[in-house]
Structure 1
Amino acid sequence: MTAEETDATPSWMRIPADADPDSSGARIDVSVAHPARRYDYWLGGKDNFPADRASGDQIAAAFPTIRLAVIENRAFLRRAVTYLAREAGIRQFLDIGTGIPTANNTHQVAQSIAPTSRIVYVDNDPIVLVHARALLTSSDEGATAYIDADLRDPDKILQAPELTATLDLSQPVGLMLVAVMHFILDEDNPYDLVGQLVSAMPSGSYLTVTQATNDYLPPEKIKEINAVGQRTRVPARMRSKEEFARFFDGLEFVEPGIVSVADWRAENEPQPRPTAAEVSGYGAVARIP
């Protein structure tokens, strides 16, 4: 953040003139859109900046149901964590790509079912981490921790003292990669990154992933959305169902397998459900054998 800050900028987001340039606060760049802040904008939050809103509006112009898509993605997260905590007996979660806290965060859902649940959140946006430390308070019986790291550096995540102090990697873990893999481009070796994380999880753990897809969009819309991503410096890689399935190679899908995020175990959600085309995102949960 620079001298161009307006009086409307919350004081907790302002960076002192003598701030350490490597500190989290000094890394907040409001001139460039960030996925977590743009997602917050689509959800109706207030922790976003003009660059985030401009990028969000341009995506919405190309894909008018984007807000519905992100709402359904959050609902999928709630249902997936509910399944893992209630039916699969998972008591530990590693949530990478946390996003700015909103309702039904992973620890809230898990600890409402099992108060002893332990959750580690990971994100690379300083604003997310500020919010996480302030708002994501654990139950007395459980624990939450927060790591400032990027999915592209799984070693940093897995070796972080916050993780090793909070999770027991000899016991099953719910690995959550929700609405983050479409920001991992092909040159970042997304399948290797997920494979490295999965390999670090013990047998009986679960992998949960959601991913934007191009399967329901006409070519001109895909081109338009990709152009917005390049122009606003938030490139994304939508993937087909077959490409999405590769994240789960060797794992055992939980029913109903790969489906629209709006349809995964959504029997008790308001009906009728949004169409797959309106959401344009796949979700799945799979057991790590």
Structure 2
Amino acid sequence: MTRGRFAVKPWLQALRPAHWTKSFFVLAPFLVGPRFGVNEYLLRSVSGAVLFGLISSAIYLFNDVIDAPSDKRHPTKRLRPVASGQISPWSAGALSSVLLLTTLGLGLLLDRGFFMMLLAYGANNLLYSLYVKKKTVLDVMSISAGFVMRVYAGGMLIDIDITDWLVACVFALSLLMGFGKRRAEFEGLRDDAPGARRGPNSYTTGKLNVLLGISASITIVTYMLYSVAPETKALHGTDKLIFTTPFVVYCVYRFLLKVQEEGREPADLIVHDRGFALAGSLWLISLLYLTHPIR
């Protein structure tokens, strides 16, 4: 255990850097909004994304300490650094506290409104860790609220309003990712691990597949409505965003199939699946081209 405290790999694993991809939602208002460019707003947006990544790592460490007893009985989560004993609960808790306080302090220096959203995000995750994660559907709605907060925080940093349809898109997409996470967790459990943590007990594979299908449909429909909404056209000066829909449809369906067939974690799928990464990159390139055409 002593050697594990000073090893870099267990700490990197505990901090979950792959999950920092979720901070993309902080950058979204800058990337597709009127502030796009090499300017002060770029620095503010990137700083905000980094701070959300740091506070997420602090929350993951806190969760690992809280969940260590049940994680030890889980077929895969027992390998996590805290559950396996590579990192002591005290060390993980100490680093979590330092990261949390540092992130909030830097957030306050960056922007007061952003700080309040960062604080709300932390409170939402604390409530989730201690209570909400055991409540069916409400657990995923709490996760989705965190993604919406990221987008609002990104808008505050560059002083633009977030449209209702964009909020609807983000909420629907995060519902899909949240139920995908639950599906992967459920699939990864063995029958001989009765004490392992699996979220709310009323979830079943069949129910999660239905919820995934509904969330996928809502995600596609809300994106299409967002792309043709009058406020979207006014903001971006184009009515061509509807042509980016095929990339979204492909990503959603590929996500759905991979989660149901292979039990892939959403973060793992986003980072490592080549087909998803290619379609996602093409969507982003086409979106940037349409919203910020080269003149």
Q: For this structure pair, what is the TM-score category when the shorter chain's length is used for normalisation?
A: 0.3 to 0.5
Q: Which has the higher contact order (CA 8 A, sep 6+)?
A: 2
Tell me which protein shows more strand as a share of its residues. Answer: 1
TM-score, structure 2 length as denominator? 0.33
TM-score, structure 1 length as denominator? 0.34
